[in-house]
Structure 1
């Protein structure tokens, strides 16, 4: 059963686990489980995907119960009327806060194939980040005797494919566990010494006006599993908003 964070007659939001595709995809013909079909089976009704999360990313994933509502909310995403918050663990110690304004060529996600639209185009992409916590571990990686890591809150203003992963690579602070844009040596360290097998990127919060009522809506996916255990082990939990931790308020409006 997929954890449901919010549901009414127009929308449903789940907490997507890491490793689960949103849609069936030609890029992974061996996958048998997909969030969209699993939720359709779970609720017994037709659903429409509004946005996507990469396979390795966990957190808030939003669906509509009608094509009309799906179109409205998709337009809200495109027009930057949805405030998105992510949490990531990255290599190194970035500045306390910053803006990454770096255009990205179009690429396709885990649940898309190419086709006529595969012609590369460069798209504007902006990400804000805020450093929440840091740590230096006594493990040698590459030529350095110690390894530095940071916990970041990320706010993408645009919604490009793999934007956060590519932007953090661009500023030389790649996300831990990212096998495409990350650093293999640091990924191995987290797997072998800290028991963390997943990519450390999670969509923790969406804020937007309800497409029908107009009431402000907040949907939160508290950290869980490997990500939560790592944050607790590194003593970073106190730096997070209470709602992002187990026992916090998962949804709110008004």
Structure 2
């Protein structure tokens, strides 16, 4: 299956990564033969090198370089927070109209077969801003409640810590829908039962802005939402709860 190419020149290529696809094979998924790196190599006829990562369940803008030098140059922009990233996600509960999550994140011990735990002393600053675009109250029973409250957000993380958005909204008690690591099992179970064909991690990398290492021009790349996310939002649309005038 070919990937949707958003941008390509002699130095780099950007695609709209589908949910469920690894960026590259890892020691935790040695049995996986399918990944963005392999598909793009076959699709472009060139070796490609990862610049940044998106979680397997996340869709959206993903950039690859055609040389290790270009990959290092671009990676530095990400590690030094010189890029602008915009995500969209669906979370549990009614979020505030807007806010900033300023909560340092520590590395997690994620050895296979063991529970995750924070590694003390590894905390790094992490800041995530968000705007609530839409709220929903769907007539889907969940836990002891007869309806389900959800919020559709536009999110801009300042850094790119591992699982930053997912961990920050868990900290806010508004975990992402479809998140098997940090999510709410009651919400996930109810939505998977209600709309199984549309259920996934509801996180999408919508826009990415960075400086082209060679031309020094600003590049702004955008990736359309997946059909699964669009269908889920359409199903929720009749249950929208408008923000009050004071919240807009």
TM-score of the pair, normalised by structure 1: 0.85
Specify the alignment match of 2:87 in structure 1.
Answer: 86
Give 1:145 shift.
2.3
Distance 1:49 1:158 in 2: 18
Specify the alignment match of 2:68 in structure 1.
Answer: 67
Distance 2:83 2:206 in 1: 13
Specify the alignment match of 1:115 in structure 2.
Answer: none
- Equivalent position SS for 2:159: coil
Distance 2:121 2:31 in 1: 28
Give 1:190 shift.
1.5
For residues 1-254 of structure 1, the aligned pairs below 5 Å read: 1-107=2-108, 121-195=122-196, 196-235=198-237
Give 1:87 shift.
0.6
Distance 2:181 2:68 in 1: 33
Is the Cα contact below 8 Å between 1:12 and 1:64 reproduced in 2?
Answer: yes
TM-score of the pair, normalised by structure 2: 0.87
Distance 1:108 1:154 in 2: 26
Give 1:119 shift.
8.4
Unaligned runs of 5+ in 2: 111-118, 239-248
Is the Cα contact below 8 Å between 1:108 and 1:161 reproduced in 2?
Answer: no
CA distance 1:197–1:139, shift in 2 (3 Å): closer
- Equivalent position SS for 1:234: helix
Give 1:85 shift.
0.6
CA distance 1:4–1:120, shift in 2 (3 Å): farther
Residue range with higher mean Cα deviation, 21-30 or 81-90: 21-30
Specify the alignment match of 2:243 in structure 1.
Answer: none
User: What's the Cα RMSD here?
Assistant: 1.9
Distance 2:177 2:85 in 1: 20
- Equivalent position SS for 1:85: strand
Unaligned runs of 5+ in 1: 110-117, 237-254
Moved segments of 4+, more than 6 Å: none
CA distance 1:62–1:120, shift in 2 (3 Å): farther
